[in-house]
A and B are shown apart, each in its own frame.
Chain A
Amino acid sequence: MTTSKREEMIFSIKNLKTHYPVLGGFFRKQIGTVKAVDDVTIDVRRGETLGIVGESGCGKSTLAKTMMLLEKPTEGKMLYDFNGEQKDVTKLNAGDVFDFRSRVQMVFQDPYSSLNPSKRIIESFDEPLRVHGYKNPAERKQRIIESLRMVNLSEDYLYRFPHEFSGGQRQRISIARALCINPELIICDEPVSALDVSIQAQVLNLMKEIQKELNLTYVFIAHDLSVVQYMSDRVVVMYLGKIVEISEASNLHVNPLHPYTEALLSAVPVPVVNEGKSKRIPLTGDVPSPINRPSGCPFSNRCPKRMDICTQVEPPLQSYGEEDHQVACHLYTKPI
């Protein structure tokens, strides 16, 4: 990665926390807190694909929704680069939020419910475009046709209903819809996890092509490490609302640092059995409840390399080896 690219941050998330209260009892008092996203700091660089990976319930989707301003963060800053001017999007006025929404769009996980079943495709596109300043109906239609062409769909589909399409087609339509207002950054929340494997590859390649063509930045979320590695320049590994490792995608499978990353990598199926590393690292137990997280390192109760310090002190996220490789684990904590 070149230095010039590194300097150009598009979206930096600083110490972001999204907590939900747990209400209980007759008077619905707060009896706990779900720390869905807890103290997450990420820099998204212009033009890159930042992968976020982790198992279900680790806070990936909440992070995505918070970044898209669909959930209110409890704490923290989210600085977005509005043509060179950094603004904290958690404190924007309504007009600037609208500007933000024209720059950042999201592709959601479920292609079946992301299109309104009672609206034709053209109607699903038309209102976003109108709201975002495309006043002329003919221009809007032209724009819709262009976006559909970008995802290899013909304009014959304009007047069809969503139920007439397959899952892969619907996801392509959703991508086209996110593209139609010309965003800079697209947050993809598990865009292919609901699709067949053969269709997954097709959609992923399409997304890569579009990225190159339009010079987009992606934040790509998935629970499948191989998909994330294929798509991303850098990978963030999350566990229980926290970042445990950030690495170059090309470096991650060669040199995983965190025991959790190692375990995840060992679970990726290999095409040829008995070739190279084939030893799995089985993890025992379940992900602890985010309401009642273990003290110290969140991974401590399942970690095969647990030490005494792990249950007492929470490891900070630090660089290890190269500057771009960060890990939160006591195995790599520099002695003070």
Chain B
Amino acid sequence: MTMTTSAIEVKAKKTSLLKIRMKKMRSNKLATIGLLVCIGMTLLSVFAPFITSYDPAQMNLSNITQAPSAEHIFGTDKLGRDVFAQVLYGGRVSIYVGVLSALGGTIIGVLAGAIAGYFGGKIDSILLRFSEIFMTFPQLILVLVLVSLLGQGVNNLIIVFVITGWMTTFRLVRNEFLTVREETYVSVCRSFGIPTSSIIFKHMLPNTMSPIIVAFTVNVAGFILAEAGLSFLGLGVPVTTPTWGNIMNAAQSIDVVTNYWWLWLAPGIAISLFVLAINFLGDGLRDILDPKQ
């Protein structure tokens, strides 16, 4: 009896905290816009087949490089494919690569950073040197080497991004843990004999969450841009898979840039809009999730 009432109480209090955060979210206009744009663009990509009847891979050689019209609202490319359909379907892969790479990098960075920051000493030095090796090696060359080793492909690209992109989160989390470690409540936990894993992940990690979330959103944006850059160079996802970067690949020649603006402007705007939106969202989340406010 007492148990059920207390459980209900906790639930009620928890929702009230959620309500406070929702309210903070709504009052932060930029973050709300960012969130809506992110969700909107993701949904458009996911439900692409319901939005456009064109197949992004369907070539139509009698209808190449058409300027935007009512029939093809973003025009067609050099093979007569519908650019609007390509941008929609391309968003699937681009967002998938960005989010999954950032997630992987964050998980590795948080684990390594928490361990290095909490224990310090030798473990810290080893992990720090290890991350420095990755950081000092030219990133692009590392990516090229890994892509040529693993082969092109969406999942291989994600693996490459995770391997080359965990260091910033690692450094951030390590520094946060070095600060939080000195807080008295960590000593309190230790003097109660609470297990170390619980101290790190249940007591310290929640207090370092807001910079981690901001770093995560920045990473999503960064990986989407990196994917676009690599695909533009022809090193990312195979050209047969439409991604925002692959569509822009067509704009490598100066002829396309000057004469067929819709080929690069549409995917370019899609990338910029998504990256901008996710940055706004990350900025807003930092304020919203801060427990001290």
Contacts and interface: CB of A to CB of B under 8 A. Distances in A.
B158 to A, nearest CB: 31
Given A113-B185, A117-B291, A106 B191 contact: yes
A116 B203 contact: yes
A70 B185 contact: no
B26 interface: no
Interface stretch (A131-139, A206-214, A253-261, A308-316): A131-139
Contact of A68 (B185, B191, B203, B291): B191
A14 interface: no
A177 B191 CA distance: 12
Contacts of A110: 184
A68 B292 CA distance: 30
Interface string B162-200: 000000000000000000000111011111111100100
B124 to A, nearest CB: 13
B202 interface: yes
Nearest to A65: B187
Interface string B21-48: 0000000000000000000000000000
A306 interface: no
B19 interface: no
B192 A161 contact: no
Given A70-B190, A98-B193, A101-B192, A138 B3 contact: yes
A331 B74 CA distance: 97
B192 A114 contact: no
A293 interface: no
Contacts of A22: none
A292 to B, nearest CB: 25
A141 B8 CA distance: 14
A268 interface: no
Given A117-B291, A138-B6, A132 B192 contact: yes
B49 interface: no
Contacts of A62: none
Contacts of B187: 65, 70, 106, 108
A230 interface: no
B2 interface: yes
Contacts of A116: 185, 203, 207
A110 to B, nearest CB: 5
Interface of B is mostly: helix
Q: How large is the interface on B (under 10, 10 to 19, 20 to 34, 35 or more residues)?
A: 20 to 34
A108 B188 contact: yes
B292 to A, nearest CB: 6
B6 A177 contact: no
B119 to A, nearest CB: 14
Interface string B189-228: 1111111001000110011000000000000000000000
B9 interface: yes
Contacts of B292: 117, 163
A188 to B, nearest CB: 13
A106 B190 CA distance: 11
Nearest to B13: A159
A247 interface: no
Contacts of A65: 187
Interface string A98-135: 10011001101110011111111010100110011000
A108 B291 CA distance: 22
Contact of A138 (B2, B189, B191, B193): B2
A138 B10 CA distance: 13
Interface in B77-105: none
Contacts of B188: 106, 108, 114, 174, 177
B207 A108 contact: no
A181 interface: yes
B202 A109 contact: no
29 contacts: A68-B191, A101-B193, A102-B193, A106-B188, A106-B191, A108-B184, A108-B188, A110-B184, A114-B185, A115-B185, A116-B203, A117-B291, A118-B291, A119-B203, A119-B206, A122-B10, A124-B185, A127-B202, A128-B189, A128-B194, A131-B193, A131-B194, A132-B193, A137-B3, A138-B2, A159-B9, A163-B292, A174-B188, A177-B188
Interface of A: 65, 68-70, 97-98, 101-102, 105-106, 108-110, 113-120, 122, 124, 127-128, 131-132, 137-138, 141, 159, 161, 163, 174, 177, 181
Pairs of residues from A and B, 8 with the lowest C-beta to C-beta distance, nearest first: A114-B184, A128-B192, A101-B193, A118-B291, A113-B184, A113-B183, A118-B206, A116-B185
Interface of B: 2-3, 6, 9-10, 13, 183-185, 187-195, 198, 202-203, 206-207, 291-292
